[in-house]
Amino acid sequence: MDFEQLIIHRQSTRSYDNKRSISREDLDRILQAGALSPSARNRQPWKFYVADKCSDKFMQVVSACQSGGANACLSDCSAVVVVVKQELSVVDRMAEMLADDFRPYDIGLAIAHMVLQAKSIGIDSLIVGWINVVKMRKALNLGKKAEIGLVVALGYAPADYQLRDKNRRPLDQTVEYI
Ligand SMILES: Cc1cc2nc3c(=O)[nH]c(=O)nc-3n(C[C@H](O)[C@H](O)[C@H](O)COP(=O)(O)O)c2cc1C
């Protein structure tokens, strides 16, 4: 699949074949794509916590993303990646007084790399922002200060899962050549 096709075929997948697992090799390829992502001052301000469905932590992580039926499909995915923001050092804090906290952008880019790499090897994904941070910190044995970023669910859509049209504003409402 060329890059443009990859962008069209990557979609938020909300149904997974719960019988399928992702090989460690494929998981590593996806995580490596995230690790190779650019970041402000190359700070790489992230840590990726990974639980595949065989891990004792899997359901704990998944349930931290579920409430009132939201994100129910995560129970069937093959693996979840929790992206946690790295704490700012004193030097970083000083720099951030002069500029922005770039960590949300950095994390977003890393996740974009991961989901596109995943699709390129036939693995579907869902980016999840609805997270109960208290439950998630507990699942990961992290302290109160830990800043949870986003979760990426990975797995295989059922064979009959349809490719949806992209519901986006037309380019002329998004772009202005100046
Ligand atoms: C930061 C972020 C958080 C998101 N959180 C959720 C979520 O908690 N649950 C969900 O079903 N989709 C979530 N999504 C998926 C978006 O709804 C989806 O990307 C958007 O509707 C466009 O659809 P597409 O990904 O199929 O192109 C999230 C996406 C992003 C980028």
pLDDT tens-digit series, residues 86-95: 987 777 777 7
- The pLDDT of 112-133, averaged and rounded, is 98
92-106 b/e with 16+ CB inside 10 Å = b? beebeeeeeebbeeb
Architecture of the domain defined by 3-174: 3-Layer(aba) Sandwich (3.40)
Q: What is the pTM of this model?
A: 0.96
Q: Which segments within the chain are labelled E, that is strand? A: 46-52, 79-85, 124-128, 147-155
Two tokens, residue 46: 């992230």
List, in sequence order, the alpha helices (H) in 10-51. 24-35
Q: What is the rounded CA–CA span in Å between residue 76 and residue 164?
A: 20
Domain spans in the chain, listed from the N-terminal domain onward: 3-174
Ligand 1 pocket check for 77: Cβ under 6 Å: no
Over residues 58-67, the mean pLDDT reads: 97
Average pLDDT score over the chain: 95
Assign 44 a pLDDT band (cuts: 50, 70, 90): very high
Average pLDDT over residues 102-108: 96
Cα(166)–Cα(83) distance, integer angstroms:
26
Residue 79 confidence (pLDDT) above 90: yes
Which residue out of 71, 126, 150, 163 has the highest number of ligand 1 atoms within 8 Å of its CB and is therefore the one to mutate? 126
**Does the C-beta of 11 come closer than 6 Å to ligand 1?**
yes
Stretch 112-124: mean pLDDT, rounded? 98
Other CB atoms within 10 A of residue 7 CB = 13
Asked whether 17 and 157 are in contact (CB, 8 A), the reply is yes
Ligand 1 centroid distance, CA of 167 (Å): 12
Q: Which amino acid would we find at residue 46?
A: W
152 pLDDT above the threshold of 90? yes
Q: How confident is the model at residue 149 (pLDDT cuts 50, 70, 90)?
A: very high
User: Distance (Å, rounded) from C-alpha 118 to C-alpha 1?
Assistant: 12
pLDDT of 126: 98
